[in-house]
Homo-oligomer: A and B are copies of this chain.
């Protein structure tokens, strides 16, 4: 009758994600029968059924969906405990450092200046950059792979983190050089979404799959810029990306696109000296 073990949660998450005991067992590197047993034991301990199984299909019950969400969060917290402890140990007997997660290819000069400003502080420690794919920073921060991150509202969610706003910028549309619209000094959102032959590409979601719908698929900025240069897509991006555009690309302001706010975020209750210093340097740099 006492507490749930992380092993059980890992098992449950595997089954809930696969919706298939056999595959889940394979993923976990174990046989199927003990997995079935562990899940039913978990169900008995929680006093509820988590999965509705017929011999042809496995589906989540309401309680199961709740547990899937909560178990993921709990497992992230346990992993974070493990990782942060290991990092703290390294910092004690070697070079301390913080891991800063940021979207690959975003916030170029802000990042550089912020790191310079922090490095100039007297008690600055090494900052390791962790370049993330779209929306990965959240996870990195949550499971302890990163200590602090740059997020971009409204795309990323800051739920559960402490944050400070850094900069807000308007957006531009990135087009192939020579496109008729590049002669304009601004365009409207409605024009962008209706561009013939230049749809907005689709990005893979957190689960690695692409959303349904039209438009080409791109996995990172290199692919994206390639697509645009080839005249197969366009893209809405923060103004600051203009500094990094290749020759074959051009950007035109879109005043009525939602503004993008860059925030620096860190897990609550873990404001180490280093993270605090980094945050301070970033805020000081951006408000001066």
A interface residue numbers (CB < 8 A to B): 3-7, 9-10, 46-48, 50, 61-63, 65-67, 69-71, 73-82, 84-86, 88-89, 91-92, 144, 157, 159-162, 267-270
Contacts and interface: CB of A to CB of B under 8 A. Distances in A.
> Interface of chain A, helix or strand or loop or mixed?
helix
This chain: copies in complex: 2
B5 A7 contact: yes
A109 B144 CA distance: 42
Contact of A80 (B7, B10, B74, B85): B74
A46 to B, nearest CB: 5
A7 B71 CA distance: 16
Given A5-B6, A9-B81, A47-B86, A91 B74 contact: no
A38 to B, nearest CB: 13
Interface centre among A4, A73, A88, A159 (most CB of B within 10 A): A88
A92 B10 contact: no
A268 B160 contact: yes
